[in-house]
Amino acid sequence: MTVRVRFAPSPTGKLHLGNARMALVNWLFARHAGGALVLRIDDTDRDRSRDEFTHSIKADMHWLSLDWDQEEHQSARLSHYADALVTLQSAGRAYACYETAEELDYKRKRQLAKGKPPIYDRAALTLAADERAKYAAEGRKPHWRFKLNSGVIAWDDLVRGACHYEAEHLSDPVLMREDGVPLYTLSSVVDDIALSISHIIRGEDHVTNTVPQIQLFQALGGAVPAFAHLPLMVDALGKGLSKRMGSLTLEALREQGIEAMAVNSLLGRMGSSHGIEPAQDLSVLAEGFDLALMGRASPRFDPVELDHLNARLLHTMPLATAAPRLTAMGIMADEPFWQAVRGNLKRLSDTQEWWRVCRTGIAPTIEDAAFTKLAATVLPPEPWSGESWKEWTQAVAAASGRRGRNLYHPLRLALTGRGDGPELAALLPLIGRERAAARLEGRAA
């Protein structure tokens, strides 16, 4: 079977981590199987869909390096949904309903008050011709529902296992509103058939959509895809992630300096039996991807874990990967510099501080002026190597009698302006003798 999956965001807001996880899982599944990913923009909601959000979605996917093989917009396919509705009408599977939203709400409340499930009573199927004519004369337009066949609706979910539901316990879903706008139940199935989607991988909040959609696939003559419903992410306390939490959008994470591959490394493995490790390339995640390893428990997102993963990713990042972005910051890094500083980075932008320390200039922090001036007098001649720091500090110790923190801390403050950071054995040759001497004497350099 040729694997074809789809990621189908609605352009009514910016991508958040929950969306990104579904996009990534579909991408990994497709690439692992040598298949294709379709980007389907579900923009039938005319009131809320915005071009700016479509552009933002694509920008976020490019940032994550998630490419797609085909792109479709539902707003350009409205005639296909109308045609499908006609097919269902002709087969007696779609029927017109004239209840208003207020009337339907009243019915639901009465059923609940009686202790009954709020299932649509199919009253529209018993309307007489004169009643329909009366509604038409009033200018009332119908919405259209899909008539479910009785019986068990079952499928073998690739994550949840065997699933089955009694159709009698469900309401006939609305397919098209009275204004002619198709609902997700109809438009998604029509597109999945047209695009030959083989697997539908989405959140478990869509399980209830799957039940009528299976019958809809069959009624429209389409092959029923395989389904995989992943548990939704929760926060560190086990509560649901709100889509309104702006800090969880990809745009916000990007602005915070989080690496795209840190996001991919976390989302691509969370909820599975794989350990979460920083991956420098998506191919590493795709190689070992398997839906069978996904668990049923809701994966927990902890921003602290993402921060740690981001730092670990930077600590092993090759210079070739970082170089283009460093150049854009004005940092012409070479391998000795990158190897010296990357182990202390939390964000790539932290490199700027160490570039100033090594290549431009800082104001030193002098803890003991007499001591640092003494240390300047025993600086060894250049060229310096990785052994120069040890040779110099041994000479300083011999001249001053200092040991341990009393020896090293004042030297670090003078040379870097900070009390912590990369190993000075690696930094000292990058700083150079002239700059080091000036700083030890209290001059900015």
Q: Dump pLDDT digits (tens) for 151-193.
A: 999 999 999 999 999 999 999 999 999 999 999 999 999 999 9
Q: Is 165 exposed, middle or buried (0-12, 13-18, 19+ CB in 10 A)?
A: middle
Tell me the three state secondary structure of residue 263.
helix
Say if residue 422 is in the same domain as residue 274: no
Say if residue 100 is in the same domain as residue 141: yes
pLDDT averaged over every residue in the chain = 94
- pLDDT exceeds 80 at position 46: yes
- pLDDT exceeds 60 at position 332: yes
* Structural domain harbouring 53: 4-69+186-234
Number of domains in the chain: 5
Query: Looking at the domain assignment, is residue 261 inside a domain?
Result: yes
Query: Looking at the domain assignment, is residue 239 inside a domain?
Result: no
Say if residue 64 is in the same domain as residue 86: no
Mean pLDDT of 372-395: 95
Query: Looking at the domain assignment, is residue 240 inside a domain?
Result: no
- Distant-in-sequence, close-in-space partners of 138: CB < 8 Å, separation ≥ 6: none
Which tokens sit at 17?
């981590």
pLDDT at 129: 87
Say if residue 62 is in the same domain as residue 95: no
- pLDDT exceeds 70 at position 63: yes
Which tokens sit at 390?
């040890």
Query: Looking at the domain assignment, is residue 292 inside a domain?
Result: yes
Beta bridge partners, 71, equal 39
pLDDT tens column, 92-124 = 999 999 998 898 989 999 999 888 889 999 999
- pLDDT exceeds 80 at position 241: no
Say if residue 124 is in the same domain as residue 98: yes
| Res. 277 pLDDT band, cuts 50 70 90 | very high
Say if residue 254 is in the same domain as residue 339: no
pLDDT at 246: 57
Last residue of a domain, one of 359, 388, 419: 359
| Res. 247 pLDDT band, cuts 50 70 90 | low
- pLDDT exceeds 80 at position 243: no
Contact 316/402 with Cβ under 8 angstroms? no
Q: Where are the alpha helices (DSSP H) in 167-292?
A: 184-194, 207-219, 250-255, 260-267, 282-287
Say if residue 225 is in the same domain as residue 251: no
The CATH number of the domain where 268 resides is what?
1.10.1160.10
Say if residue 391 is in the same domain as residue 423: yes
Mean pLDDT of 267-293: 92
Say if residue 165 is in the same domain as residue 294: no
Say if residue 325 is in the same domain as residue 311: no
- Distant-in-sequence, close-in-space partners of 244: CB < 8 Å, separation ≥ 6: none
Nearest to 391 by CA among 379, 382, 406, 403: 379
Please report the DSSP string for 330-355 in residue order.
T----HHHHHHHGGG-SSGGGHHHHH
- pLDDT exceeds 90 at position 72: yes
Query: Looking at the domain assignment, is residue 74 inside a domain?
Result: no
pLDDT at 248: 86
pLDDT at 348: 98
Q: Of the given ranges (51-55, 274-278, 307-311), which has the lowest mean pLDDT?
A: 274-278
Rounded CA separation 276/273 (Å) = 9
Say if residue 341 is in the same domain as residue 379: no
Burial 399-421 (b: 16+ CB within 10 A, else e): ebebeeeebbebbbbbbbbeeeb
Contact 60/252 with Cβ under 8 angstroms? no
Entry pTM: 0.91
Tell me the three state secondary structure of residue 256.
coil
pLDDT at 145: 97
Query: Looking at the domain assignment, is residue 445 inside a domain?
Result: no
273 — phi, psi (to 5°)? Answer: -80, -5
Beta bridge partners, 202, equal 229
Say if residue 333 is in the same domain as residue 417: no
